Amino acid sequence: MIKLISTGGDTTTVSFPEAMWQGQAPDGGLYVPQSIPALPESWWSGVADRTFHEIGAGIATPWLAPHLNEQEVRTLVEEALPFDAPLVDVEGTTSVLELFHGPTLAFKDFGAQFMAKLFGRLGAEDDRELLILVATSGDTGSAVASGFHGVPGTRVCLLYPSGRVSPLQEKQMTTLGGNVTALEVDGAFDDCQRLVKEAFRDRELNETFRLSSANSINIARLLPQSFYYVRAVAQLQERGERAEPVFVVPSGNFGNLTAGLLANRMGMPAHRFVAATNRNDVFPNYLETGRFNPKPSVQTLSNAMDVGNPSNFERIMYLFGGSLERVREQILAIGFDDHQTTEEIRRAHEEYGYLADPHTAVGLLAARSIREQSLADPSRPLVVLSTAHPAKFRETVEAATGAEVEIPERLAQCLSKEKQTIAAGSRYSDFRNLLNELF
């Protein structure tokens, strides 16, 4: 059975379900596996013939045993992730791994859908309903809400800053109904986050409710994100491409990249990882200078990567035994500004006929600079992770390309519904009263 420990230094180990229920370790660190279960050579050599669901079951089973058996994991993967991650050629040996075919059109669907089903499947440790509090600036809220929507024994309360999410993101969060409640907070994202953090520290509230954060630091969200890296390798091999790929990952909190590292430690062939960031370039600076200097985030077009203190940095350091040299051997990092991003959206459309959202464009920029600076052998496959559908950032993409971006049916549906929200102030005492009234 896999055991997890905290990056915070506490040596107590917990099981996977315990780490999932808690989210963050009591010492404030993040849960990481004490040792990573590698899959046998024979599993990897047959990977090209496996479907996405078979890959998911193969990867997740050693993490979830003995709580679930392989067949149960397989069923869970099928139910949670009824969509694929297709690899699309763009130019030469560069391809894009499209991670936006889930219900909310962003890669966060993989983590959120899987985690939600796992919460439902592994049952409650007591019989109180689980109340999931999520502060969101847009993408996380819709992915988590969609994942937990209709999951028995759970309720979701989203807090988002009024007037500061895109109209489309707002519709995605506020039209689900059922067990999902959206609070429109009169304040900024930081206010939403502060309210949620205070609620977790509030003893009395925690006696009334069984609270969970289900946020991006949860290990149960990382695990399913390793599936699609393996799926990319399988698709390369199907095409007869055997060389180890370079994975380019548009990064903010570095959960996505960490999931790739986990897949690699489980035996997945990968030559290197490239962290592509926007102007929030704390990680590229770290690799360059050896100093990790978190700073306040700055706003950019690729706003889901506007992170000034990447939470998964601790996990990355743990995986490399704290050695900067070892991190540098495996990970390259490059940052780009908004001007370059807009220009890349235009070029990708013009040169490859590909419509990229601003986050994917940051990844394509990194791939371009690797080619131009010969940082990888020209024959080596470069896989750029595409983290969002261009329709999610339609205005930016249309302005940069002059092309029209089609809105997928599943998004169009929620656009025609009325938003349902509850107005909330940014004072904690009011928030607390509201929770007691509502739930």
Ligand X SMILES: *Cc1c(COP(=O)(O)O)cnc(C)c1O
Q: Which chain residues interact with ligand X by CB under 6 A?
A: 106, 108, 139, 250-256, 304-305, 359, 387-388
Name beta bridge partners: 32. Answer: 5
Supply the minimum distance, in Å, between the C-beta of residue 333 and ligand X: 12
Q: Is 261 left (phi over 0), alpha (psi -120 to 50) or beta?
A: alpha
Q: Which two tokens stand for residue 348?
A: 């990708």
Considering the complex, state which of residue 95 and residue 142 has its C-beta at the smaller distance from ligand X: 142
Helix or strand holding residue 386 (H, E): strand 382-386
Contacts of 377 (CB under 8 A, 6+ apart): none
Considering the complex, state which of residue 139 and residue 184 has its C-beta at the smaller distance from ligand X: 139
Considering the complex, state which of residue 106 and residue 199 has its C-beta at the smaller distance from ligand X: 106
Supply the minimum distance, in Å, between the C-beta of residue 296 and ligand X: 17
Considering the complex, state which of residue 99 and residue 199 has its C-beta at the smaller distance from ligand X: 99
Supply the minimum distance, in Å, between the C-beta of residue 418 and ligand X: 25
Considering the complex, state which of residue 84 and residue 202 has its C-beta at the smaller distance from ligand X: 84
Angle at 155 between CA 150 and CA 156, to 5 degrees: 100
Give the distance from CA 44 to its chain's centroid. 24
Supply the minimum distance, in Å, between the C-beta of residue 108 and ligand X: 5
Give the closest residue to 367 by CA, choosing from 96, 65, 16.
96
Considering the complex, state which of residue 23 and residue 250 has its C-beta at the smaller distance from ligand X: 250
Supply the minimum distance, in Å, between the C-beta of residue 251 and ligand X: 4
Say which DSSP state 423 is in: E
Supply the minimum distance, in Å, between the C-beta of residue 324 and ligand X: 20
Considering the complex, state which of residue 131 and residue 134 has its C-beta at the smaller distance from ligand X: 134
Q: How far is CA 185 from CA 53, 182, 425, 439, in A?
A: 39, 9, 6, 18
DSSP string, 194-242: HHHHHHHH-HHHHHHSEEE---TT-HHHHTTHHHHHHHHHHHHHHTT--
Q: How far apart are CA 57 and CA 47, in angstroms?
A: 12
Q: How far apart are CA 41 and CA 48, in angstroms?
A: 13
Give the closest residue to 131 by CA, choosing from 179, 68, 65.
179
Supply the minimum distance, in Å, between the C-beta of residue 259 and ligand X: 8
Supply the minimum distance, in Å, between the C-beta of residue 255 and ligand X: 3
Q: How far apart are CA 156 and CA 81, in angstroms?
A: 20
Considering the complex, state which of residue 359 and residue 368 has its C-beta at the smaller distance from ligand X: 359
Three-class SS state of 260: helix
Q: How many residues does the chain have?
A: 439
Supply the minimum distance, in Å, between the C-beta of residue 139 and ligand X: 4
Considering the complex, state which of residue 101 and residue 359 has its C-beta at the smaller distance from ligand X: 359
Which residue type, as a one-letter code, is found at position 108? K
HSE, CB side, 13 Å, CA atoms: give it for residue 268: 29
Supply the minimum distance, in Å, between the C-beta of residue 21 and ligand X: 22
Question: Do 377 and 331 touch, CB atoms closer than 8 A?
Answer: no
Supply the minimum distance, in Å, between the C-beta of residue 310 and ligand X: 7
Helix or strand holding residue 141 (H, E): helix 139-148
Q: Which two tokens stand for residue 237?
A: 């091999």
Name beta bridge partners: 161. Answer: 185
Q: How far apart are CA 165 and CA 182, in angstroms?
A: 13
Supply the minimum distance, in Å, between the C-beta of residue 66 and ligand X: 29
Considering the complex, state which of residue 47 and residue 165 has its C-beta at the smaller distance from ligand X: 165
Considering the complex, state which of residue 70 and residue 338 has its C-beta at the smaller distance from ligand X: 338
Give the closest residue to 284 by CA, choosing from 190, 343, 362.
362
Considering the complex, state which of residue 315 and residue 368 has its C-beta at the smaller distance from ligand X: 315
